[in-house]
Structure formats: structure tokens, C-alpha cells
Structure 1
Amino acid sequence: MKTRTIHWIFAVLALACIAALGQALLAQRTAAAFNQTLADPQPSDGVSPAAMLSRGVRLAAAGDVSAAQHAFQLALQQGDAASRRMARYNLGNLHLRQALAMRRGDVEAVPLVELAKQYYRQVLAEEPLHPDARYNLERALWLQPESVTWRSVKDKAEARERRVTASRIEPGELP
């Protein structure tokens, strides 16, 4: 092989490495800008639904329920199907946590549990195998059972057994 050919091969390889480095730097800059958007505590125009979901989760953990609900509603309006599903799931969690924080049997907790059940059912309508939404819907149904017309004595006995079994379950944290 001639020296000139070897020099050209190294030059092409060097250019390929420089192009790969440039692409990696651009991806890193984009990721840093997205992370900054997620960390920004103040909403602004043009914020992505993922940033609104992240902000809503952070606000809910801090105890700011109304701001978290607003962030989830924005993500619900602006997002794609997956973002809307996550916003519904998080809204259900928000309402269920509010209901669990109230005293058991409190009349004000009933609408919150019903809203949580509605959001979980919407998530399950889109993704029937969503395990966390299934579990949380079941917990909401334990808190606020729905009225059922019994078709037979056997159905009533099975429901009574389920109710007794469910009452033995220790309250746990939502997923």
C-alpha cells in the first residue's frame, strides 16, 4: 500500500470520528436543555407534556395539590396518547391520596374516590393490562364499593367473602 492511500484512510476515519463527536455533543446539549425544562419550577409557553407530568409529580409530592392538578390537566390537553394516559393515572393517584388522607367515612372523600375510579378506568380502557392502574382501582373500590344488584345467593356469598378478605389487607402505599 502506498503512503498516500494510508493517509487518505486516516483522514476519512478522523472525519468520521469528528462527525460522531459532533453528533454526541448535540445530543448531550439537547438532553441538558430538556433536563433544564423538567427542573424549571415555573411553567412557560411551549413546555412539553413530559415536563408538565414531571412538574405535576413534583408538586404533588410537595403537597401543592391544585398546582399539580393544573399541571396534569395541561399534560392531558397537550400530550400524545401515552402522556394523556400517564396524566390520567397521576390524576387518579392525586385524588385517591387526597381521599386516603381524609378520615374514613368522610363525606367529602366520596367524590374524590369516584374521580379516582373514573381516571383509572379511562387508563384501563386504553391499556387494559396497566398493572398499577388495576391495583389502584381495586384499592379505590375497597374504599368506596359500588352498589351491585345480586343475581343469585351464590354471587352475594362470594362478594361477602371478598369483602372480608379485602378488609384483612393492610393499607399500603400506592404504586
Structure 2
Amino acid sequence: MKRRSIHLLFAAATLCGAAWCAYQGWLLQRALDTNAAVVRASEKPSGENPNRATANDVAEVRLARAVALSKAGKYDAASNLFNELGHQEPLGETGRAALFDLANMYMREGIANGAGKPGTSTPLIELAKQRYRDLLRVYPDNWDARYNLERALWLRPEHPDAFDAAAQQPHETRKLKLQDVTAGDLP
């Protein structure tokens, strides 16, 4: 009886291990399929409909397609995909990446139009600032978005005199008296 229970225990452990291996194999195959779809989507987009979705499209594939469209200069289609991803899963990694890439696309386009067309660069940089702020509301620890927002604020300040030295002077000064503290230079 003891020998039989040990064999049954060993068989159960073997079946659990085989099921775990099969599950891991399925996850690996799914990841390989997703990676292949991302590579296909990130290649230079052809004349096909950029917003087309297939049954196997996952968020990563749509993000790769949007990045490829952005690089190809098809900004309207890319911004539609970026916005869709940003609204579908704003808390997910793909949604945050979509918001960041959308803001970067607006920023690059605004900088490219900056010298020649100030009328079109200002709204694009304002859109970029708004997207960076949207991303920072969802994920405040994104230092890349903070840096790019600061850069956008330097390019197009919120107020015309925001970086004027005279505007940064205090409007009034007060003298404070504290107990047991004498006025003087700090060490």
C-alpha cells in the first residue's frame, strides 16, 4: 500500500510539472507571435488602411503600428491610434507609452514647424504639454515626461513673462524676528 501511494504521488507531481511546462510553452509561443506581429507592424507602413485591426492584434502591435505611422509622417492616423491606446488602458504600460509617444510626436512636429510656422508650432507644443500632463496625472514618477514637459514649457512658456528676470523678483519683503536668533550671514 505504501509503495502504491508513493507512485501515485510521483505521478501527480509529474502531471503537474507537465501541465506547468505546457502552459509555459503556450505563453512562449504567444509571446513569439506577438513579437513577430510587432516587427511586421513596425516596418514601414504600406498603402493599406493604417487603422485596420485584425483578430490577433494586441495593444503592443497597435502601438508599434502607431510608431511606424508617426515615423512615416502619417500623423493623423498615428494620433488616432495613440489616443485609442491611451484611453483604452491608461494605467497599463502600453497606454502610458502611447501617451508619451503621442506627446513626443506633437513636440517633434512643433519643433520642426517652429522657425518657419509659429502659427502651427504653438498649438502642437500646447498639445504636447497637455499630453505630458495627462501622463503625469496617471503616472507621476515618469521622469522622461517631466523632462519633456519642462522642455516644452521652455519653448512655449505659459505666461509671456514667465522667464523674465524682473518677473521673478519678490513683490514685497518682510523682516522676521525670531527668539534667540541674531541677524547676520549664514555660516
Fold match (TM-score > 0.5): yes
> Which residue in the other structure is 1:71 paired with?
81
Equivalences for 1:1-175 in 2 at 5 Å? Answer: 7-8=7-8, 10-41=10-41, 43-45=52-54, 47-82=57-92, 83-104=94-115, 106-107=117-118, 108-147=120-159, 155-157=167-169
Q: Partner of 2:159: helix, strand, or coil?
A: coil
Q: What CA distance in whole angstroms lies between the structure 2 residues aligned with 1:157 and 1:105?
A: 34
Q: Aligned to 2:103, what secondary structure does the other structure show?
A: helix
Task: Report the structure, 1 or 2, having the larger helix content.
Answer: 1
Tell me how far apart the structure 1 counterparts of residues 137 and 61 of structure 2 sit (CA, whole Å).
25
* Stretches (4+) displaced over 6 A: none
- Unaligned segments of structure 2, at least 5 residues: 42-49, 171-187
Percent identity, aligned pairs only, is 34
Question: Closer, same or farther in 2 for the Cα pair 1:7/1:71, shift >3 Å?
Answer: same
CA gap 1:9/1:90 in 2 versus in 1, 3 angstroms: same
Aligned counterpart, 2:180: none
> Which of 1 and 2 has greater Rg?
2
Deviation at 1:157, TM superposition (A): 4.7
State the distance in 1 between where 2:21 and 2:96 align. 37
CA distance in 2, matches of 1:72, 1:63: 14
- Using the alignment, how far apart are the partners of 1:91 and 1:30 within structure 2? 27
**CA gap 1:106/1:52 in 2 versus in 1, 3 angstroms:** same
Deviations 1:128-147 (A, max 9, x none): 33211111111111111221
* 8 A contact 1:49–1:78 mirrored in 2: no
- CA separation of 1:54 and 1:6: change in aligned 2, threshold 3 A: same
What's the secondary structure of 1:81's corresponding residue?
coil
Conserved in 2, the CA contact under 8 Å of 1:52 and 1:74? no
Q: Which runs of 5+ in 1 are unaligned?
A: 159-175
**Structure 2 Cα separation of the partners of residues 58 and 68 of structure 1:** 8
The one-letter code sitting in structure 2 at the alignment partner of 1:25 is: G
Inter-partner Cα distance in structure 2 for 1:5 and 1:71:
58
The RMSD of aligned alpha carbons is 3.1
Report the secondary structure of 1:61's partner residue: helix
